[in-house]
Structure formats: C-alpha cells, structure tokens
A and B are shown apart, each in its own frame.
Chain A
Amino acid sequence: MKPAVVKRSDSGILEDRKKSIVYKVDGCSGNGIKCDSDSVSGAVSQRACVYCGARVVLNPITDAFHIVHGPIGCASYTWDIRGSLTSGDDLFRTSFSTDLRETDVIFGGEKKLTAAIEEVMEKYSPKIVFVYATCIVGVIGDDVEAVCRTMSEKYNAHIIPVKSPGFSGNKSTGYKMACNAIMSLIRNYKTDKKIKAINILGDFNLAGEIWIIKNYFNKIGIKVLSTFTGDSSYESLIRAPEACLNVVQCAGSSTYLAKQMEEEFGIPYLKVSFFGTEDTTSSLIRIAEALGDMEARAKAIEFTTRMEREAEEVIKAYRSKLQGKKAAIYVGGGFKAISLIRQFNLLGMKTVVVGTQTGSKDDYEIIENLADEDTVILDDANPAELETFMKEKGADILVGGVKERPLAYKLGIAFCDHNHERKHPLSGYEGVVNFVHEINKSINNPVWKYLGK
C-alpha cells in the first residue's frame, strides 16, 4: 500500500488538508485517505452542520410542524429550499421558528418554546411536531427534551426533540439525530402484525423520485407501505412496523434507521440503489427475490428488461457525444459519488476528480476501486482544492451542489446539479435519461466555444 500524498498541485493545498487528498495509484492505495473528521478551521469547507443533516432527513414529512428553536438564521436559510414534493399536506413547506432574540439568550428560550408549542397544539392539534435544537439552545440552558416531554403528555401528541446543535458533529451526526427522532415516533406503533409490503428508506422524493420508484413497484406488484421520508405523513409512517422488508436507498442517511428497525421490529433490510439502469434493474429484481415473490420477480424481469432497453437507446445516442469527456464529482455522500462514477463509466466518460463532504473510509475504498489511475480523490474539499484539481485534470464538467456551480462556471467548466434543490428527477430509468440529457445539455452547449480567444 502506498501512503496517500499529494503529488503535484501543491498550490492552494493546506498542510492540514493534505492527508484528505490522494491520487489513485497502482490500483489501490489502501486505507490512505483521512476522512470522517472535523473540518479544518479557515479552510472554507463546503459542509453544512448537524442541523442541516437532521433537516434533510426529517423535513420531507409533509404534515409535521417543523419548529426550529433558535435564532432566525437557521430557519431562514433552510426554508423551503429543497425539492421534496408532496401528494398530500404541504405543511412542511412552511417555516416555523421561535426566532430567539437577545433577551431570550439572556433569560432562556424555554418559555417561548412552550408558548409556541401550546399555540400550535391548540390551534391545529397536529399529530407530530419536530423541535430542532440549534447551536445556542443548549448553551443558554434550554432543556428542549424536557419541554417536549411535558408538552407530549399535556396534549397526548408526538412532540419530538431533534438534537441538532450545529457544532455537535457534522452532517452525518444530523442524519443520526433525525433517525432517532423517527424511531421515537414509530416505536410507539410496534406490532406483531406483518403484511407483505416494504418500506422505502432514504428517498426524499426530490422532484418526485419516490413516485417514480413507487410506480415501478406498482408495476411489478409489490406493495409499498411507508416511505422515509419522501412524501410521507404521520399516518403512513406509523404503519412502517408492519412491513416485512426495508429497502434503503440513501445508505449514508438511513442505514442507521434500518438497523434500528431491524433490531426493534425484526424487519430485515436491503441496501438498494435506483441511480443508473443497472442498479435500478438489479434492485427491483432483488427486492422481489428477498420477498420470495416469484410472480413479482418475473414481472420485474420483464419490466426492467423493457425499461432498460429503452433507456439504453437514449444512452447510446448520447454516448457518442460524451465519450472521452472528463468529469469532476463533488457531492454530499459516498453513495452518490459511487453511483455517479459508474454512470459516467457507462457513458464512456472518465472521472478525474471525485470527492464528498461526508464519505466514510469504506466509501473511499470503493471509490478508489472504481476510479481510473491517477484520479484525484478528496474528502471535505474546499473551493481552492476543487479549482486546483479541476484545472490540473482539465475537467469538462463538475457534478455538485449549488455553492460549487459558480466556481465551475468561472473556470469555464460545465455543471450538473446533483443536489436537493433540483427540479428534475435523477432516479430510475427516467432519471438516467434526465441525467444524460443534462450532462449533454451543459457539456455540449455552444457557450463554451466562445470562451477562448
């Protein structure tokens, strides 16, 4: 195994960051990369905070009151910016904040929070209220858990604290806190009754993705009970313990929940992926197999063969225009990065830079295996590093989030939005078509021709 070192592009790389950047060499460099650690102060990390992670997972629950207990910023910057869609209530698109002020910081915010919950309960008597604890509430001595407990008893409702002070870890800590909050809700509905149906975990119905996946299940005759948390509601979530299988789409955020449900409800889980045709096909078939439902399996094979063929035709057409182009990837989780590299491979494209905000050691090992020789792999990268390596590697397109987009454009590089704000689905066969379409639309847009002198 080779030690992980930065070889060439040393400009713009901090000493403290060098261990988090490797070049793929000689097939495999082993456990080289430093990851899953605190961001380096002053390095301009692209990561968000614990609160952000919790919000990602819980916010799509459509009929819950999501109350942000803290100063206004936390609520303001997260209000309805994500593309989770709903077929029912749209309460989750409304922002609620206790809007803490100077005096609350001095005298504590518990009273304000109590009054807020009382008002909400008395006017709307919702089934679930999530109370997000932000950075300062613990510091000023608010006992959010106690307030939630008292209020839950008073109103006989689920008023659930979400322990998400921004400094208490990173985004993945937030995922865990959200999973704990979900468990504290559905645990109350544990049952011995089992029906032949599945739950989908880790899909947030961005741009209707969970609808696409549910349509597939409908086609092959598999019943979906609850979805975590895309397009979900109190009524749908509490039925989850009756399912006989959990399928986990976004592993980074929801495996933790799947494990808890396996332990407490005895529901086995299966990791799946609906990004890319190959993954979508094998996931659908495998789920039917896991259920022992041979009829569904047969239908899945028939259905996926047809869909894959149709998608493949589109991909084939685009491949001729994309072959040989170079991609840089900088996304939130390892799972997404991995499926992107594979999708690019299928398009005949080369991934030259790949990084994530919250990938784990295991994720990076897979990434190394997938990546071509000399690919730059980085964890918790900053704009300076992205700039340096995209230039060094001559990337043609960057896949990333909103903050990275202007950087790509300033460098004259095409861009693909793979974030929670996007308005087109990237899951399933439809998603693959959208994906290649978007890549082509940006990478082969005429504007780039006019940049050189």
Chain B
Amino acid sequence: MKTKVKPLVSLNVNPCKMCMPMGAVTAMYGIKKSMSILHGSQGCSTYIRRHMATHYNEPVDIASTSLTEHGTVYGGEENLLKGLKNLIELYNPEVIGVSTTCLSETIGEDIARMIEKFYELNPEYAYIRIIPIHSPGYGGTQFDGYFRGLYQIVSHLARECEKNNKINVVTGMQSPSDIRFLKKEFARFGLEAIFLSDLSDNLDGGYSEKYSRLPSGGTSVSEIEQMGGAACTVEFVGMDLEYSPGQYLADRFGVPLKKLMLPVGLRDTDEFYRGLSELSGMKIPEEVELERGRYLDAMIDSHKYSGDGRAVIYGDPDFVLSTVRLCVENGVMPVVAATGSTCKMLKPLLEKEIKPLGDMIFEENYCIVDDIDFKTMEELAVSGNANLMIGNSDGRRIEENMSIPLVRRGFPIHDRVGGQRLRMLGFAGSLMYLDEITNAVLACKERGFRKELYNEYYKDTPIDQGIREEVLDTAAIKKREIEEKTKTHPCYNCGAHEYARIHLPVAPHCNVQCNYCVRKFDCPNESRPGVTTKVMTPEEAFDRYISVKEKVPNLSVVGIAGPGDALANFGDTKRTLELIREYDPKVTFCLSTNGLMLPKYADELIKLGVSHVTVTINAVDPRISAKIYKFIDYMGIRFTGENAGAILLSNQLNGIRLLASQGIICKVNIVTLKGINDTHIPEVVSKMKSLGCYVTNIMPMIPVKGSAFENLVPASNKEVNAIRDICGETMLQMYHCRQCRADAVGRLDNDISLEVNEKQQGEPAEQSRDQEQSARFAVASKSGTLVDQHFGQIQEVYIYESKNDEVRFVERRKIDQYCTGAENCDHKEGKIDSIISMIEDCKGVIAMRIGEEPRNKLTEKGIFVYPTYDRIEDAVKKATSMI
C-alpha cells in the first residue's frame, strides 16, 4: 500500500539543506542590537522564524517587507523603506541586516541603492548601520548564506584603525553553548577575542522578569570596527571559503589569517590549545591537561563499543569534516559522509580521513557525497549497512523508517529540546559527543542482541525441547479447569440444563453481512440470533449481570453474542468481561463470533479468561461462502464474493487453531442453507474436527423478512437431524440448540429476557404525540452552529423545526441577499418580499441583528422576529417558548 520512493534524478527528495536567507539571518543574530528584514514575500520570514524558534526555543523576530503582487510588478522599494521605518520603531536596533530572497533577487531589486535612499529620506536614522546581504535562496544553502552574511557584516563595518591586540574569531554556525565555550577558552588564555558572530546569548537567553524584545547580547558594532586592527584572525573552518571574512580582513587590512579546525576530537583540540598558547604566550593550564586525560581515558573505555559503529554523518561541510575526524580517531567507521551544500573540496579532505580506517578494518564500501538529499542518503545508509546516524533532526525519517538511531547535532533540532545547548567543542564537548555516539551503538546492541542471537542460532529441534514438561503441567491444570466449566455450560453440555446463562448485548456492530441476517434491536417478541431489545454499554451490561445474578443463582455462564459480532466491538466486549471478572472470578465466559477478527484477538480472549468460543462457519470453500456472505469489512476495506469468503475462512481457521491449541473449547455453528451448503456440511465438520474443535452445532436457518434469503425454504428439523446424524460419526454434535437472542437470559428452555427487560423499558411510542406543536424557524447563521449573522447579510438560512421540546435541523436554503450595499438600496422593497416568500413556511426569523424595515415587514406578515446571539438549538427553543 505504501509507495516506496527511490532517489530521483530530476527531483530533490527530502532536502538535506535550507536556504541562504536562513544563514544570513543567523549570522545577524550574533550582532549586538541587530534586527533582520527579509526583502521578499511574507512566508520566507515566517518559515525561517518557525525553524529557528523550534531549534533555539527562543522568540525569533525577523521582519519581512511582505511583498505583494504590486511590489513584485512595480518593485519593492516602497515596502523596504516603510519596513525599515516600522521595524526601527518597534525594535529600535542599532544594526539592520537587509537580506534578499529568491523573489527580490529575481525581480532585480537594488537593495544597496534603496538603503541609500532610506538614509536620505530619514537622516535621523543615520546612526543605524544597515547592511545589505545578497542571499537568494537558489544561490546556495544556509552554510553559504551564513558566511555571506558574516562577510557583508565585516566588509561593511570594519575600519582602518589602530592596531590592537585583539583576536578575531570566525566560526560556522555553532550552538550557543559551544560559542560560550570558545569565548571562555580565549579568555582563559588572557586573549581578548572579537567573535564573528556571537549568538551565544541572543539565541540562548535566560529567563528574566523583564523581557527585552531586542536581545542585547552579541558582538557590538564598535568591536567589529576594530577587527581591521586585530593581531590575528582565527578562522575555525577547516576549508577554503568563497566568502571568507578572515581572507577579507587579511586582504584589506593585512590582519594575519590563521586557519584552524574546530576543536572537536583529540587532534583538533590539541591543535586548538597549542594555537591559544602560541597566540597568548601562555602555557596550557594543567586543568586542560586533566581534561585531556579524561577524554583519552573515555576513548579507551569506549573503543570496543564505538568501534562497532558504522555511521552516516551529514550536515554543513565544516560540521561533517570535524565529526568525521572525531569518528575515525575512535574507530567509528563513516560509511556515508555527506552535505546538502555544493562543496567539491570536501571529498579529498574526507577521503584522507576515512580511507586509512577503512583499510585497517577491510572496509572499502564508504561514500562521500555533496549536494545530497535524504532519499539518496537513506539508500546509501542501507547499502552501507549503517547502524548510526549523526546530524540534525531532519534525519529522523530515516531513523524512523530504517530504525537507525540518530545522534542529534547541528541545525535544526526541532524534535527534541535543547538544540541550542548541545556541545561538541573542546575535550569536554568531544567527550559528551563521543559518549552519545558510543551509547547509541550500545543501545542498539542491548535492544537487539537477544533476539538476534535467538533467531540466528535457536532452531527448536527436539534436543531443545527436553525442558518443556513443567510448562505442559500448568497447561494440564488449565485444561481441567476448562473441562469443569464445560460441565456447567448449558450450550456445551446437554446435561447442564439446570444451569442458566446470560447474553449481554454490548456488541452492536458487525463486520460480516450474512445473507440470512437482519440485525434489529427493537423486537422484543422475536427470538433468534441478532435480535436484542437494547444495546448496552459495558457498564449497563455489568449492572444487568449483577441484577440477574441475584434473581438467578444458578447463573453459570456469561456470553457475548452480538447482536452484531463480539469481536467487531472488541473494546466494549473486553470492558464488559473485565468488569464482570473483577466481581466474579469464577463465572464462565463464553463468546460467539463470525471469526473474522479471531486471529487478532485470540490471545487477548485467553487473557480475559474466555474459555468457550463459538464460531459460525457455514462453509470451508470460498466459492460457497461467496453465496452466503454479501460482504465483509476487513482492515478498513469492504470485500465481496470469493475474496470475502477466502479472507473470512482463512481467519476463522487460523483463529480456531490458535484457540484450540491453548485448550479453549471451540464450538462451531453451521447454518443449514438448503441448496447452498447442505451437502457441504460434512466437509465443514471434518475440517473442524481436524482443527481440534469440541462440538459442532448444525442449525436450521430462520428466514427473516428483509434478508437476502427471506424466500429461501428453511431445512426442516428432520432434515437437520439427518445431517447431524451423519456428522455425528465424525465428531460430537449438539442437538439441543435453541438459537437464542443476543440478550437471552435464563435456562435454554426458559428465556426470561423479556421480564428482565420490561423494568428497563419506559419509553412510550413517540408517534402518537407528533402533531401537537410544530413550528419552523429561519435562522441566520454564518458558522452553522451559532446565530451569528445579520439578517441583512444572509445569503442562506438554516431552517429548524421545533416540535415537542425538540429542535431539529431541516435544511439549508439559499436566499437572495437583502443588503448588498448602498447603491442597491432602492430595490430593497422587492427583495424583502422575495425573501419572505422563501421563508413563508416559518413562524419566526432568528438573527443576530435585523434592520427596522425588514423587521416591520416580517412582523406584518405575522413572522415573529427574534434577535439574539446564541447556539442555534438554544435560540430556537427560546423562540418557540416566546410564540
């Protein structure tokens, strides 16, 4: 039923990337007192806000120029100028990033010129730094957008300035928590760092009693202005960038650029501290050495578990590179390393890392892919036999479909909390990361190894069965119990006729339509299966059981026999039995069914303590079944003909087999249908014998008016007895069946259900009083549930009828609108008449409000007017009482 999609050539199937504006906006979030506005249609900002809000769990406010058709055709300058003013008024920022989107780039908006114009028109805002960022969604991913944003920030704000001792720090999109770590480490070495950018507070703020709409953390403009005079730029991106802020600072201001890997894993964290030590001239603190030792110790402790890991690693290029390096240090084999960005230089970098490990463990089967989508990744994960994924939440579909555990890192993480606090940098961060990876492998093993080994090695051969006797013994005890119960069950033992049974009609629905059956609930004098006076809830049924038990002390059996099928209403059936079992641990539970749902519920029935099950099986040949059953409803689908017969039969047989193998006493009812199954019955009986049934009950058909077989001549008692005699040679036959009702009570020969019922019946027939009071109302409603419309605005009315305190919906009627605006006022006269003619059969009109003129007109015609605001039903009731 499910469409299995493979990767496609011409379509991206499940994107492993987001768009440039997302990155640009994130970059801006690290600047103090900054806001972003996206120049494009409203959806871009809303979607990006939603994505960021679920990851960071912070309010994320991003403005939009909300371009419309007009702006798209004539240019969006007006929108941008106004948008800037509005957002300044609301947020009072010091920096604004104006990022373009697909739409504004495509229509060729010159945002730099528009920003100039804004300054010209609003000189009072000259102090605000407005940065244009070209970030068309189709131009790259969030990774590209992020660095383009940083580049624009630096190139716009950094100045020629005096040399200082500060260090510029550039990173990719890291978690706020990891940025905080980096800041601390630079400070620990006495280094004054300027972070580009620093979202650690703005996207991971604390709670405080005073909420500030514009977050106040981040790197300030004046700090960025000083970047041109810094001692050095450290760019924690282990590869070349098209838009490198560090390169810009080197080219423009001669600030030396030092490229470092992110401090993830042992090698790169060592390099990180060496770098800090060099820059500061300080020795690496002993504490760091201790941390390093702990991390190393953890690597050793984990190596045999983590070494089982076969990982799929995906995300931004810098994230993938660092994670792969950590993995290979620990023997975790990256079978797929991939990014959704287009990044050709990643492959050689990763190859260098993965190949040596692959060679060591004889693993050549790994892939490195850029511009990937998740569908392709899924296929590679399966062919690479991956048991672990590392990346953002968007891998959760593969986690779900392929049951490969996912260690969540990167952006976005929107199906767990705490995405903003996830760590991977430094020894402590690496340790947490490694522990998670190792634990994912361990959890997988712990969950699966028993089953896996059992499936692999346990063969259930005779040598394995020597220890079964004990189990058999308890089975034998159970069997004896059931035998005892059979002795006191009037249907199963004709010697038990002094015992009484009660059928509780809690199961109204049926999933099989037999051609001889019509289920009616309201015929107290008819006695046959499928008939009941009333359908009960489990609680009502329980009450009835209690009250009957008081009157009929020899009540030994509780049965569920419809009026539909006990298992088609399994919830109610189950509840009923549970209620009674709680009260009476001994009473025998018996149940009859058509068997369609038997395989599904057999185990539960046994758990509920059902000891006797009757299944009606009229044929063991689907061709014959096709003539007997009109349809079956199974798993939400309606089957007819031989298909229906085959499904039903297969479930009946499997169900009985399941029950009989657990010692449950199975009775099979067979309805004799002359010319259809009468000669086939012996075959049915011998099949039942082979399944381990206890008794078969061959019955005549009771012709029911309205059923498909209403004209079928029923088999006589004599004919039925003859068949029973023949079948009696095969197995035990039941000769004393009374074909009882679904709410039968008492002994087989004395049904007292009527007496029991009468006390619960009290409703006199309604029809006789029908003509008393009847009034129709025209109701003005917009919502359909409330009186909530002006009479003047109705284009349709709801007609309700009120009769004997009861309110009934009659129909919805179309009406010419009375009031269509001032210009048509002259024609109202005619209109009200035509409206009145359409509701002439009504005694009243109910509307939220109504004008003087139509009100008079209606009153003149004798139509009562009731203005109100209420639920329709309540309003109609009130109006009725008023007339």
In the complex where A48-B46, A80-B397, A167-B72 touch, is A90 in contact with B15 (Cβ < 8 A)? no
Q: Are A72 and B66 in contact (CB under 8 A)?
A: no
Query: How far does the alpha carbon of A410 sit from the alpha carbon of B789 in the complex, in Å?
Result: 39
In the complex where A139-B103, A286-B809, A406-B58 touch, is A98 in contact with B10 (Cβ < 8 A)? yes
Q: Are A48 and B784 in contact (CB under 8 A)?
A: no
Query: How far does the alpha carbon of A285 sit from the alpha carbon of B102 in the complex, in Å?
Result: 50
Q: Are B138 and A170 in contact (CB under 8 A)?
A: no
Q: Are A14 and B44 in contact (CB under 8 A)?
A: no
Instruction: Report chain B residues within 8 Å CB of A95.
Output: 12-15
Residue picked from A48, A165, A248, A285, most chain B C-beta under 10 Å? A48
In the complex where A73-B19, A73-B22, A96-B12 touch, is A289 in contact with B2 (Cβ < 8 A)? no
Output the least CB separation between A298 and chain B (Å): 10
Encode contact with A along B1-45: 1 for CB under 8 Å, 0 otherwise: 111011011111111011101100000000000000100111111
Q: Are B871 and A384 in contact (CB under 8 A)?
A: no
| Tally of contact residues, A, Cβ under 8 A | 110
Query: Which residues of chain B from 86 to 106 have a CB within 8 Å of any chain A CB?
Result: 86-87, 89-91, 101-103, 105-106
The stretch among A33-41, A143-151, A153-161, A184-192 that forms the contact with chain B is A33-41
Instruction: Report chain A residues within 8 Å CB of B2.
Output: 88-91
Query: How far does the alpha carbon of A76 sit from the alpha carbon of B141 in the complex, in Å?
Result: 11
The stretch among B76-84, B279-287, B351-359 that forms the contact with chain A is B76-84
- Of the A-B pairs whose beta carbons lie under 8 Å apart in the complex, a sample of 8, sorted by A's number, is A76-B18, A77-B18, A77-B50, A79-B14, A102-B136, A136-B102, A139-B103, A369-B848
Instruction: Report chain B residues within 8 Å CB of A72.
Output: 12, 15, 17-19, 137-138, 141
Instruction: Report chain A residues within 8 Å CB of B69.
Output: 167-169
Instruction: Report chain B residues within 8 Å CB of A273.
Output: 783-785
Which one of A47, A49, A51, A453 lies within 8 Å of B209 (CB-CB)?
A: A453
In the complex where A51-B43, A402-B54 touch, is A73 in contact with B209 (Cβ < 8 A)? no
Contact of B53 with A by CB under 8 A: yes
Output the least CB separation between B696 and chain A (Å): 33
Q: Are B810 and A88 in contact (CB under 8 A)?
A: no
In the complex where A77-B48, A166-B103, A268-B812 touch, is A126 in contact with B3 (Cβ < 8 A)? yes
Query: How far does the alpha carbon of A362 sit from the alpha carbon of B782 in the complex, in Å?
Result: 8
Query: How far does the alpha carbon of A72 sit from the alpha carbon of B102 in the complex, in Å?
Result: 10
Output the least CB separation between B535 and chain A (Å): 9
Output the least CB separation between A427 and chain B (Å): 14
Query: How far does the alpha carbon of A14 sit from the alpha carbon of B86 in the complex, in Å?
Result: 7
Interfacial residues, chain B to chain A (CB-CB below 8 A): 1-3, 5-6, 8-15, 17-19, 21-22, 37, 40-51, 53-54, 56-69, 71-72, 79-80, 82-87, 89-91, 101-103, 105-107, 136-139, 141, 205, 207, 209, 211, 213, 375, 394, 397, 509, 537, 636, 781-786, 788-789, 793, 808-812, 848, 869, 871-873
Query: Which residues of chain A from 247 to 287 have a CB within 8 Å of any chain B CB?
Result: 248, 251, 268-273, 278-279, 282-283, 285-286
Contact of A123 with B by CB under 8 A: yes
Which one of A16, A73, A338, A411 lies within 8 Å of B783 (CB-CB)?
A: A338
Query: Which residues of chain A from 3 to 47 have a CB within 8 Å of any chain B CB?
Result: 12, 14, 16, 38-47
Q: Are B12 and A99 in contact (CB under 8 A)?
A: yes
Output the least CB separation between A122 and chain B (Å): 11
Q: Which residue of B lies closest to A362 (CB)?
A: B782
Q: Are A166 and B42 in contact (CB under 8 A)?
A: yes
Query: How far does the alpha carbon of A87 sit from the alpha carbon of B68 in the complex, in Å?
Result: 39
Contact of A323 with B by CB under 8 A: no
The 4 A-B residue pairs with the shortest CB-CB distance in the complex, in nearest-first order: A271-B784, A49-B43, A42-B83, A42-B86
Query: How far does the alpha carbon of A43 sit from the alpha carbon of B71 in the complex, in Å?
Result: 17
Contact of A83 with B by CB under 8 A: no
Which one of B43, B68, B87, B788 lies within 8 Å of A38 (CB-CB)?
A: B68
Given A42-B84, A96-B12, A119-B10, 14 new contacts (CB under 8 A) = A14-B90, A39-B66, A42-B83, A42-B90, A44-B87, A73-B44, A80-B397, A101-B139, A135-B41, A166-B40, A362-B788, A366-B786, A402-B50, A451-B207
Contact of A196 with B by CB under 8 A: no
Output the least CB separation between A451 and chain B (Å): 7
Q: Which residue of B lies closest to A116 (CB)?
A: B10
In the complex where A99-B15, A273-B783 touch, is A105 in contact with B138 (Cβ < 8 A)? yes
Q: Are B86 and A116 in contact (CB under 8 A)?
A: no
Q: Which residue of B lies closest to A453 (CB)?
A: B209
Q: Are A403 and B22 in contact (CB under 8 A)?
A: no
Query: How far does the alpha carbon of A33 sit from the alpha carbon of B788 in the complex, in Å?
Result: 17
Contact of A290 with B by CB under 8 A: yes
Output the least CB separation between A95 and chain B (Å): 5
In the complex where A12-B90, A383-B213 touch, is A270 in contact with B64 (Cβ < 8 A)? no
Instruction: Report chain A residues within 8 Å CB of B783.
Output: 251, 271, 273, 335, 338, 366
Query: How far does the alpha carbon of A453 sit from the alpha carbon of B205 in the complex, in Å?
Result: 18
Contact of A120 with B by CB under 8 A: yes
Instruction: Report chain A residues within 8 Å CB of B101.
Output: 135
Q: Are B57 and A382 in contact (CB under 8 A)?
A: no
Q: Are A167 and B68 in contact (CB under 8 A)?
A: yes
Instruction: Report chain B residues within 8 Å CB of A91.
Output: 2-3, 5
Contact of A374 with B by CB under 8 A: no
Output the least CB separation between B5 and chain A (Å): 6
Mostly, the B contact residues are: mixed
Q: Are A290 and B809 in contact (CB under 8 A)?
A: yes
Contact of A434 with B by CB under 8 A: no
Encode contact with B along A289-320: 1 for CB under 8 Å, 0 otherwise: 11000000100000000100000000000000
Q: Are B60 and A406 in contact (CB under 8 A)?
A: yes
Q: Are B15 and A94 in contact (CB under 8 A)?
A: no
Contact of A230 with B by CB under 8 A: no
Query: How far does the alpha carbon of A73 sit from the alpha carbon of B41 in the complex, in Å?
Result: 13
Instruction: Report chain A residues within 8 Å CB of B785.
Output: 271-273, 279, 282-283
Contact of A182 with B by CB under 8 A: no
Output the least CB separation between B286 and chain A (Å): 38
Output the least CB separation between B285 and chain A (Å): 36
Q: Are B71 and A124 in contact (CB under 8 A)?
A: no
The stretch among A63-71, A348-356, A436-444 that forms the contact with chain B is A63-71
Encode contact with B along A378-413: 1 for CB under 8 Å, 0 otherwise: 000011100100000000000001110111011110
Q: Are A43 and B86 in contact (CB under 8 A)?
A: yes
Output the least CB separation between A232 and chain B (Å): 13
Query: Which residues of chain A from 230 to 256 have a CB within 8 Å of any chain B CB?
Result: 248, 251
In the complex where A99-B12, A306-B537, A410-B211 touch, is A167 in contact with B375 (Cβ < 8 A)? no
Q: Which residue of B lies closest to A233 (CB)?
A: B1
Instruction: Report chain B residues within 8 Å CB of A76.
Output: 15, 17-19
Query: How far does the alpha carbon of A273 sit from the alpha carbon of B66 in the complex, in Å?
Result: 33
Which one of A105, A272, A382, A410 lies within 8 Å of B106 (CB-CB)?
A: A105
Output the least CB separation between B519 and chain A (Å): 11
Query: How far does the alpha carbon of A338 sit from the alpha carbon of B781 in the complex, in Å?
Result: 14
Contact of A100 with B by CB under 8 A: yes
Query: How far does the alpha carbon of A415 sit from the alpha carbon of B43 in the complex, in Å?
Result: 24
Instruction: Report chain A residues within 8 Å CB of B21.
Output: 73
Instruction: Report chain B residues within 8 Å CB of A87.
Output: 636
In the complex where A366-B786, A407-B59 touch, is A282 in contact with B3 (Cβ < 8 A)? no
In the complex where A77-B50, A135-B41, A166-B41 touch, is A100 in contact with B211 (Cβ < 8 A)? no
Query: How far does the alpha carbon of A172 sit from the alpha carbon of B63 in the complex, in Å?
Result: 21
Instruction: Report chain B residues within 8 Å CB of A410.
Output: 58-59, 205, 207, 211
In the complex where A72-B18, A73-B21, A102-B138 touch, is A39 in contact with B207 (Cβ < 8 A)? no
Query: How far does the alpha carbon of A72 sit from the alpha carbon of B373 in the complex, in Å?
Result: 11
Instruction: Report chain B residues within 8 Å CB of A338.
Output: 783, 786
Instruction: Report chain B residues within 8 Å CB of A278.
Output: 871
Q: Are A98 and B11 in contact (CB under 8 A)?
A: yes
Contact of A52 with B by CB under 8 A: yes
Which one of B41, B62, B871 lies within 8 Å of A167 (CB-CB)?
A: B41
Output the least CB separation between A14 and chain B (Å): 5
Query: How far does the alpha carbon of A80 sit from the alpha carbon of B85 in the complex, in Å?
Result: 36
Instruction: Report chain A residues within 8 Å CB of B40.
Output: 135, 166-167
Query: How far does the alpha carbon of A48 sit from the alpha carbon of B48 in the complex, in Å?
Result: 10
Q: Are A366 and B63 in contact (CB under 8 A)?
A: no
